[in-house]
């Protein structure tokens, strides 16, 4: 069974923290991932969307694919050093979190 990231921790990074880091396990190895809140993202950077299209600021619904998509992006970060961003919704004017190796 594949180990997926806890999306509630990623959501917390969007709402409460300017910088956050937490451990991940990929390929049986533990390492740390760090996220920084950013207001501008590079268009070419992979994007992980955390909430469904029907979410509102008052009623958020985590996308059921978010954990798998985040974990896949973290795997690419680990193996290919490909940084990525997460957003709550791409059409909301809120900061993104840019993820990198720590």
What are the boundaries of each domain within the chain? 7-101
pLDDT of residue 86: 93
pLDDT-based confidence at 1, cuts 50/70/90? very low
What mean pLDDT do residues 55-75 have? 92
- The pLDDT value recorded for residue 80 is 94
Which tops the pLDDT comparison, 4 or 31?
31
Q: Does residue 85 register a pLDDT over 50?
A: yes
How large is the average pLDDT for residues 47-72? 93
CB 50 within 8 A of CB 25: no
Helix (H) or strand (E) holding 101: strand 96-101
46: closest CA among 4, 96, 6, 83? 83
């Amino acid at each position: 069974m594949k180990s997926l990231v806890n999306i509630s921790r990623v959501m917390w990074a969007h709402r409460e923290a300017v910088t956050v880091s937490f451990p991940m396990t990929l390929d049986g190895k533990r390492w740390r991932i760090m996220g920084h809140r950013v207001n501008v993202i590079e268009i070419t950077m992979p994007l992980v969307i955390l909430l469904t299209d029907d979410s509102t600021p008052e009623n958020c619904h985590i996308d059921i694919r978010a954990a798998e998509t985040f974990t896949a992006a973290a795997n690419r970060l680990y193996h290919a050093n490909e940084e990525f961003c997460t957003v709550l919704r791409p059409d909301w004017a809120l900061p993104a979190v840019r993820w990198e190796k720590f």
